[in-house]
Amino acid sequence: MKTATLKQIKTELSTYPNDKMEALILRLAKYKKDNKELLSYLLFEADNEAGFIDAVKNQIDEDFKKLNSINLFLAKKTIRKALRTTEKYIKHSGLKETEASLRIYFCYRLNSYKELWTNSTTMENLYKRQITKINKAISYLHEDLQFDFRIEKEELLGIES
């Protein structure tokens, strides 16, 4: 079976009545957790982006509270899990402002455990990739927002040194 293109799907969906469209969406949400999470964001969170960002920051905090600071291997796993959570919610939102905000917050939280991962090349590279992604996200924003986020990033980098 060949998968249809996005254009073909869009064309076909435009011909469906509302009740059939609702059934399709519910069926899609039933089979995969990611689809359900994205649908939940679109229906309940998309109108309040600031509240969504705060909720994701609380989730990142929860992930970092579970960090095992004694065992580096377990700490790396927890940090990667927090990053996966961050990436997932960034993908749900799709806004560069949200991306920059969440990545900066993740790096702040990661910096609070800097003594744990400074000798780990893997974690240092992960951190540097996040800084690169922050720079890229900031470059897409309006000039006023770029200024605000660059100040936050410079504060973050000031903590780093």
- Sequence spans of domains, the chain: 7-47, 48-160
Predicted TM-score (pTM) of the model is 0.85
* Distances in whole angstroms, Cα of residue 14 to Cα of each of 7, 22, 36, 92: 11, 13, 22, 23
Cα 133 to the center of its chain, rounded Å = 11
Name the H helices within the chain.
Answer: 6-14, 18-31, 33-40, 49-65, 72-93, 96-111, 114-117, 121-139, 143-160
Please determine, for residue 160, whether its predicted confidence score (pLDDT) is greater than 60. no
Q: How far apart are CA 66 and CA 62, in angstroms?
A: 7
As given in the structure block, the two tokens for residue 128 are 């540097």
Return the pLDDT at 137.
93
Summarised one tens digit per residue, pLDDT across range 55-108 is 999 999 999 999 887 888 888 999 999 999 999 999 999 899 999 999 999 999
Average pLDDT, the chain: 89
- pLDDT band at 6, cuts 50/70/90? confident
Q: How far apart are CA 155 and CA 160, in angstroms?
A: 9
| C-alpha dist (Å) from residue 57 to 23, 88, 105 | 33, 13, 7
